Amino acid sequence: MNAHEIDYEIFGEEMQYVEIELDPQEAVVAEAGSFMMMDTDIKMNTIFGDGSNQDNSVLGKIFSAGKRMLTGESLFMTAFLNIGQGKKKVSFASPYPGKIVPIDLSELGGRFICQKDAFLCAAKGVSVGIEFSKRLGRGLFGGEGFIMQKLEGDGMTFVHAGGTLAKKTLGPGEVLKVDTGCIVGFTKDVDYDIEFIGGIRNTIFGGEGLFFATLRGPGTVYIQSLPFSRLAGRVLAAIPRGGKDKGEGSILGSLGDLLDGDNRF
């Protein structure tokens, strides 16, 4: 195997974290900000790119890091290496409520495609790149699903899904239509494209966007019920403008402000 062999255990229900057990000289790489805790004798290093060692040249490392920039991620990742004599543990936490999904790339043909912000951590040696779309429809209208991450190798990797996770196994030719933001990831044989919803009323009044993703089997698809973009949008919509309480959006809210002596609008 090219990737390090790691053992793991996932804890929690809604706000999960994954605890990874490392043998001496084993390492795991993670996105910045996902670290939770670790044992002594684990050395933390910031690395350029994903640390997959597919190309050790300076140009290769720059290209690897540049691919991450296109997905909106940092140029750097963090590697956690066990430099001690016995087994050591390091843990990584979910960024928001949802589920952590363990993916064994050796069982999926060495490749898994996921949303650009779904990747949490992986065994060192797993390549974290980008999956470019070869279809015009995806490029123009894909939204969150246009540029996706490509996880390649033969080790364990972990992705995060917001809210409740749905796992769908598609047969040959079977199609699943999904909101682009609700896609967590899918196996390499799944065909992915963007489709126009259609209909004037759907377009103007539907409130669900103009396009959705079509996923065609065979393969396995992971769907999340709460994309981070949807969660963030609801939070921003609930923030009072200028820091002033809206009275929960009711007409009586303004009347209450007047009665309280607050007549600023």
Check residue 153 and give its pLDDT: 92
Check residue 234 and give its pLDDT: 73
Domain for residue 265, yes or no? no
| Overall domain count for the chain | 1
- CA separation for the pair 84, 248 (Å, rounded): 55
Instruction: Supply the CATH number for residue 148's domain.
Output: 3.60.160.10
Are 75 and 69 contacting, i.e. CB atoms less than 8 angstroms apart? yes
Domain for residue 262, yes or no? no
Domain for residue 256, yes or no? no
As a dihedral over the C-alpha atoms of residue 105, residue 35, residue 145, residue 220, rounded to 10 degrees, the angle is 30
Q: Which residues contact 263 (CB under 8 A, 6 or more apart)?
A: 257
Query: Which one-letter DSSP state was computed for residue 140?
Result: H
Percent of the chain at pLDDT above 70? Answer: 69
Q: Tell me, what amino acid is at 82?
A: N
How far, in whole angstroms, is CA 43 from its chain's centroid? 25
Of 127, 118, 249, residue with least CA distance to 186: 118
Domain for residue 11, yes or no? yes
- CA separation for the pair 111, 133 (Å, rounded): 16
Domain for residue 255, yes or no? no
pLDDT, one tens digit per residue, over 108-121 is: 999 999 987 889 99
pLDDT, one tens digit per residue, over 14-46 is: 889 999 999 999 999 998 889 999 999 999 998
Does residue 152 surpass a pLDDT of 90? Answer: yes
Structural domain that includes position 104: 7-242
